[in-house]
Amino acid sequence: MEIIIQPNPGVATSLAARLLGKTIREKPDAVLGLATGGTMEALYRQLVAAKLDWSGVTTFNLDEYVGLPPDHPQSYHHFMGENLFHHINMSPRSINIPDGLAASIPAECEAYERKLSATGGIDLQLLGIGTDGHIGFNEQSSSLASRNRIKTLTPQTRKDNARFFASEEQVPHHVITMGIGTILESRHCVMLAFGARKAKAIAGAVEGPITSMNPASALQNHPKVTVILDEAAAADLILKDYYRWVYEQKPDWQKI
Ligand code: PGA
Protein backbone atom coordinates (compact mmCIF):
# COMPACT_ATOMS: atom_id res chain seq x y z
CA MET A 1 0.00 0.00 0.00
CA GLU A 2 1.11 3.52 -0.67
CA ILE A 3 0.13 5.80 2.21
CA ILE A 4 0.06 9.51 1.40
CA ILE A 5 -0.45 11.89 4.34
CA GLN A 6 -1.38 15.46 3.49
CA PRO A 7 -1.76 18.44 5.86
CA ASN A 8 -5.52 18.83 5.40
CA PRO A 9 -8.50 17.41 3.48
CA GLY A 10 -8.32 20.17 0.83
CA VAL A 11 -4.77 19.34 -0.25
CA ALA A 12 -5.47 15.61 -0.01
CA THR A 13 -8.57 15.97 -2.20
CA SER A 14 -6.61 17.92 -4.83
CA LEU A 15 -4.10 15.09 -4.98
CA ALA A 16 -6.87 12.53 -5.50
CA ALA A 17 -8.42 14.76 -8.20
CA ARG A 18 -5.06 14.93 -9.99
CA LEU A 19 -4.77 11.14 -9.84
CA LEU A 20 -8.23 10.67 -11.34
CA GLY A 21 -7.63 13.34 -13.95
CA LYS A 22 -4.40 11.62 -14.97
CA THR A 23 -6.22 8.29 -15.30
CA ILE A 24 -8.92 9.78 -17.54
CA ARG A 25 -6.42 11.68 -19.70
CA GLU A 26 -4.16 8.64 -20.14
CA LYS A 27 -7.07 6.27 -20.77
CA PRO A 28 -10.07 8.13 -22.22
CA ASP A 29 -12.16 4.93 -22.15
CA ALA A 30 -11.30 4.17 -18.51
CA VAL A 31 -13.72 2.24 -16.31
CA LEU A 32 -13.99 3.98 -12.95
CA GLY A 33 -15.47 2.63 -9.74
CA LEU A 34 -17.12 5.52 -7.90
CA ALA A 35 -18.04 6.06 -4.29
CA THR A 36 -20.46 8.34 -2.42
CA GLY A 37 -20.40 9.88 1.06
CA GLY A 38 -19.27 13.20 2.48
CA THR A 39 -15.59 12.59 1.66
CA MET A 40 -16.30 12.40 -2.07
CA GLU A 41 -18.28 15.66 -2.40
CA ALA A 42 -15.23 17.95 -2.55
CA LEU A 43 -13.45 15.52 -4.88
CA TYR A 44 -16.32 15.57 -7.37
CA ARG A 45 -16.42 19.40 -7.18
CA GLN A 46 -12.74 19.47 -8.16
CA LEU A 47 -13.25 16.95 -10.95
CA VAL A 48 -16.11 19.02 -12.37
CA ALA A 49 -13.93 22.16 -12.19
CA ALA A 50 -11.12 20.31 -14.02
CA LYS A 51 -13.35 20.09 -17.14
CA LEU A 52 -12.15 16.64 -18.11
CA ASP A 53 -13.47 14.77 -21.12
CA TRP A 54 -15.70 12.02 -19.71
CA SER A 55 -17.29 11.08 -23.05
CA GLY A 56 -15.50 7.73 -23.27
CA VAL A 57 -15.55 6.88 -19.56
CA THR A 58 -17.73 4.16 -17.98
CA THR A 59 -18.55 4.23 -14.27
CA PHE A 60 -19.80 1.70 -11.75
CA ASN A 61 -20.91 2.91 -8.34
CA LEU A 62 -20.17 0.85 -5.29
CA ASP A 63 -23.59 0.80 -3.69
CA GLU A 64 -27.16 1.98 -3.30
CA TYR A 65 -29.81 1.90 -0.59
CA VAL A 66 -32.52 -0.72 -1.04
CA GLY A 67 -35.98 0.82 -1.27
CA LEU A 68 -35.03 4.40 -2.23
CA PRO A 69 -36.19 5.56 -5.68
CA PRO A 70 -33.51 7.21 -7.85
CA ASP A 71 -35.01 10.67 -7.31
CA HIS A 72 -35.00 10.33 -3.50
CA PRO A 73 -32.68 13.08 -2.21
CA GLN A 74 -30.64 10.57 -0.18
CA SER A 75 -30.36 7.89 -2.87
CA TYR A 76 -26.92 7.46 -4.36
CA HIS A 77 -28.44 7.92 -7.83
CA HIS A 78 -29.44 11.41 -6.72
CA PHE A 79 -26.10 12.06 -4.97
CA MET A 80 -24.14 11.15 -8.10
CA GLY A 81 -26.35 13.26 -10.37
CA GLU A 82 -26.10 16.30 -8.13
CA ASN A 83 -22.40 16.02 -7.35
CA LEU A 84 -20.98 14.78 -10.65
CA PHE A 85 -23.04 13.42 -13.52
CA HIS A 86 -25.21 16.51 -14.17
CA HIS A 87 -22.05 18.57 -14.60
CA ILE A 88 -19.91 16.42 -16.93
CA ASN A 89 -20.20 15.11 -20.49
CA MET A 90 -20.81 11.45 -19.70
CA SER A 91 -23.38 9.48 -21.61
CA PRO A 92 -26.12 8.22 -19.22
CA ARG A 93 -25.68 4.81 -20.87
CA SER A 94 -22.16 4.58 -19.41
CA ILE A 95 -23.30 5.23 -15.84
CA ASN A 96 -24.01 2.21 -13.66
CA ILE A 97 -25.50 2.38 -10.17
CA PRO A 98 -27.27 -0.59 -8.52
CA ASP A 99 -31.07 -0.40 -8.67
CA GLY A 100 -32.33 -0.29 -5.10
CA LEU A 101 -35.89 -0.85 -6.31
CA ALA A 102 -35.14 -3.98 -8.38
CA ALA A 103 -37.91 -6.59 -8.17
CA SER A 104 -35.26 -9.24 -7.55
CA ILE A 105 -32.23 -7.97 -5.63
CA PRO A 106 -30.17 -11.15 -6.26
CA ALA A 107 -30.84 -10.92 -10.03
CA GLU A 108 -29.90 -7.22 -9.99
CA CYS A 109 -26.64 -8.02 -8.15
CA GLU A 110 -25.72 -10.78 -10.61
CA ALA A 111 -26.53 -8.60 -13.62
CA TYR A 112 -24.41 -5.76 -12.20
CA GLU A 113 -21.49 -8.11 -11.68
CA ARG A 114 -21.87 -9.52 -15.24
CA LYS A 115 -21.98 -6.05 -16.78
CA LEU A 116 -18.88 -5.06 -14.84
CA SER A 117 -16.89 -8.07 -16.06
CA ALA A 118 -18.09 -7.48 -19.63
CA THR A 119 -16.40 -4.04 -19.59
CA GLY A 120 -13.07 -5.68 -18.76
CA GLY A 121 -13.04 -4.58 -15.12
CA ILE A 122 -12.38 -1.40 -13.18
CA ASP A 123 -9.22 0.60 -13.87
CA LEU A 124 -9.48 2.78 -10.77
CA GLN A 125 -11.81 2.20 -7.83
CA LEU A 126 -12.45 5.11 -5.47
CA LEU A 127 -13.15 4.12 -1.88
CA GLY A 128 -14.16 5.87 1.31
CA ILE A 129 -13.99 4.03 4.61
CA GLY A 130 -16.58 3.73 7.36
CA THR A 131 -15.71 4.35 11.00
CA ASP A 132 -15.93 0.54 11.37
CA GLY A 133 -13.61 -0.08 8.41
CA HIS A 134 -16.32 -0.83 5.86
CA ILE A 135 -15.59 -0.32 2.15
CA GLY A 136 -18.58 -0.01 -0.11
CA PHE A 137 -21.17 -1.16 2.41
CA ASN A 138 -19.25 -4.31 3.32
CA GLU A 139 -19.79 -4.16 7.03
CA GLN A 140 -17.68 -5.92 9.68
CA SER A 141 -17.76 -9.73 9.29
CA SER A 142 -18.34 -9.46 5.51
CA SER A 143 -16.66 -12.24 3.57
CA LEU A 144 -13.38 -10.96 2.17
CA ALA A 145 -14.27 -12.88 -1.02
CA SER A 146 -17.81 -11.47 -1.27
CA ARG A 147 -19.45 -10.42 -4.54
CA ASN A 148 -22.24 -7.90 -5.21
CA ARG A 149 -25.12 -8.60 -2.86
CA ILE A 150 -27.55 -7.25 -0.33
CA LYS A 151 -26.15 -6.23 3.08
CA THR A 152 -27.77 -5.11 6.30
CA LEU A 153 -26.30 -1.92 7.74
CA THR A 154 -24.97 -1.95 11.28
CA PRO A 155 -26.51 0.40 13.85
CA GLN A 156 -23.23 2.41 13.79
CA THR A 157 -23.35 2.96 10.01
CA ARG A 158 -27.02 3.97 10.20
CA LYS A 159 -26.05 6.43 12.96
CA ASP A 160 -23.09 7.75 10.89
CA ASN A 161 -25.31 8.27 7.84
CA ALA A 162 -28.26 9.73 9.74
CA ARG A 163 -26.70 13.19 9.23
CA PHE A 164 -27.81 13.02 5.59
CA PHE A 165 -31.43 12.10 6.48
CA ALA A 166 -34.11 13.94 8.46
CA SER A 167 -33.81 11.33 11.22
CA GLU A 168 -32.04 8.05 11.96
CA GLU A 169 -35.30 6.10 11.52
CA GLN A 170 -35.33 7.12 7.87
CA VAL A 171 -31.95 5.52 7.08
CA PRO A 172 -32.70 2.28 5.19
CA HIS A 173 -31.63 -0.97 6.81
CA HIS A 174 -30.56 -2.67 3.57
CA VAL A 175 -28.20 -1.81 0.73
CA ILE A 176 -26.82 -3.37 -2.42
CA THR A 177 -23.03 -3.25 -2.41
CA MET A 178 -20.14 -4.42 -4.54
CA GLY A 179 -18.43 -7.24 -2.67
CA ILE A 180 -14.91 -7.13 -1.27
CA GLY A 181 -13.85 -9.80 -3.79
CA THR A 182 -15.29 -7.60 -6.57
CA ILE A 183 -13.47 -4.51 -5.28
CA LEU A 184 -10.18 -6.43 -5.05
CA GLU A 185 -10.38 -7.19 -8.79
CA SER A 186 -10.04 -3.47 -9.63
CA ARG A 187 -6.64 -2.66 -11.08
CA HIS A 188 -6.01 0.28 -8.73
CA CYS A 189 -7.81 1.10 -5.49
CA VAL A 190 -7.69 4.68 -4.19
CA MET A 191 -8.97 5.13 -0.66
CA LEU A 192 -9.63 8.55 0.90
CA ALA A 193 -10.15 9.19 4.61
CA PHE A 194 -10.22 12.48 6.47
CA GLY A 195 -10.80 13.43 10.08
CA ALA A 196 -10.11 11.99 13.52
CA ARG A 197 -13.20 9.77 13.46
CA LYS A 198 -11.52 7.67 10.71
CA ALA A 199 -8.15 7.26 12.50
CA LYS A 200 -8.92 3.95 14.20
CA ALA A 201 -10.39 2.35 11.06
CA ILE A 202 -7.38 3.51 9.00
CA ALA A 203 -4.85 2.17 11.51
CA GLY A 204 -6.62 -1.20 11.43
CA ALA A 205 -6.92 -1.24 7.65
CA VAL A 206 -3.29 -0.33 6.96
CA GLU A 207 -1.36 -1.83 9.88
CA GLY A 208 -3.71 -4.27 11.54
CA PRO A 209 -4.19 -7.93 10.72
CA ILE A 210 -6.27 -8.80 7.66
CA THR A 211 -9.63 -9.46 9.21
CA SER A 212 -13.28 -9.20 8.31
CA MET A 213 -13.63 -7.14 11.51
CA ASN A 214 -11.98 -4.37 9.47
CA PRO A 215 -13.13 -5.05 5.89
CA ALA A 216 -10.75 -2.42 4.43
CA SER A 217 -7.81 -4.49 5.74
CA ALA A 218 -8.50 -6.85 2.79
CA LEU A 219 -6.82 -4.18 0.64
CA GLN A 220 -3.48 -5.37 2.07
CA ASN A 221 -3.88 -8.27 -0.35
CA HIS A 222 -4.27 -5.95 -3.35
CA PRO A 223 -1.17 -5.19 -5.46
CA LYS A 224 -1.93 -1.50 -6.07
CA VAL A 225 -3.59 0.60 -3.38
CA THR A 226 -3.15 4.33 -2.76
CA VAL A 227 -4.43 5.58 0.60
CA ILE A 228 -4.78 9.37 0.78
CA LEU A 229 -5.19 10.77 4.30
CA ASP A 230 -5.18 14.03 6.18
CA GLU A 231 -3.15 14.32 9.39
CA ALA A 232 -6.14 13.56 11.61
CA ALA A 233 -7.04 10.31 9.85
CA ALA A 234 -3.36 9.26 9.91
CA ALA A 235 -2.95 9.99 13.64
CA ASP A 236 -3.00 6.35 14.84
CA LEU A 237 -0.58 4.94 12.23
CA ILE A 238 2.56 3.54 13.85
CA LEU A 239 4.71 4.10 10.75
CA LYS A 240 3.38 7.53 9.76
CA ASP A 241 6.85 9.13 9.72
CA TYR A 242 8.08 6.38 7.45
CA TYR A 243 5.14 6.89 5.03
CA ARG A 244 5.89 10.63 4.92
CA TRP A 245 9.55 9.93 4.19
CA VAL A 246 8.69 7.47 1.41
CA TYR A 247 6.36 10.00 -0.24
CA GLU A 248 8.86 12.88 0.00
CA GLN A 249 11.65 10.76 -1.47
CA LYS A 250 9.66 9.35 -4.38
CA PRO A 251 11.53 9.39 -7.66
CA ASP A 252 10.07 11.89 -10.15
CA TRP A 253 8.68 9.17 -12.42
CA GLN A 254 6.59 7.83 -9.53
CA LYS A 255 5.04 11.17 -8.52
CA ILE A 256 1.35 11.89 -9.09
P1 PGA B 1 -18.11 9.40 4.53
O2 PGA B 1 -18.46 7.86 4.33
O3 PGA B 1 -17.27 9.81 3.38
O4 PGA B 1 -19.46 10.08 4.52
O5 PGA B 1 -17.41 9.53 5.84
C6 PGA B 1 -17.47 6.94 4.02
C7 PGA B 1 -18.04 5.53 4.00
O8 PGA B 1 -18.93 5.20 4.80
O9 PGA B 1 -17.57 4.74 3.17
Adjacent-strand bridge partners of 174: 152
Average pLDDT, rounded, for the chain: 97
**Local structure of 175: helix, strand or coil:** strand
Active-site choice (108, 113, 132, 230): 132
What amino acid occupies position 59?
T
In this prediction, residue 134 carries a pLDDT of: 96
Q: How far is the CA of 54 from the centre of ligand 1 (A)?
A: 25
CA distance 15 to 30: 19
Active-site choice (108, 134, 160, 230): 134
Nearest to 83 by CA among 46, 120, 30: 46
pLDDT tens digits, 143-172: 999 999 999 999 999 999 999 999 999 999
Q: Measured from the CB, is residue 204 less than 6 Å from ligand 1?
A: no
In this prediction, residue 143 carries a pLDDT of: 98
| Domain range summary for the chain, segments of one domain joined by + | 2-247
Q: Measured from the CB, is residue 4 less than 6 Å from ligand 1?
A: no
Q: How far is the CA of 176 from the centre of ligand 1 (A)?
A: 16
- This prediction has a pTM of 0.96
Q: CATH fold of 2-247, please?
A: Rossmann fold (3.40.50)
Estimate to the nearest angstrom the gap between the alpha carbon of 136 and the chain centroid: 6
- Ranges of the chain with pLDDT below 50: none
Closest atom of ligand 1 to CA, residue 192: 3
Q: Is 86 a catalytic residue?
A: no
CA distance 46 to 63: 22
What amino acid occupies position 48?
V
Q: Measured from the CB, is residue 128 less than 6 Å from ligand 1?
A: yes
Sign of CA dihedral 191, 196, 201, 207: positive
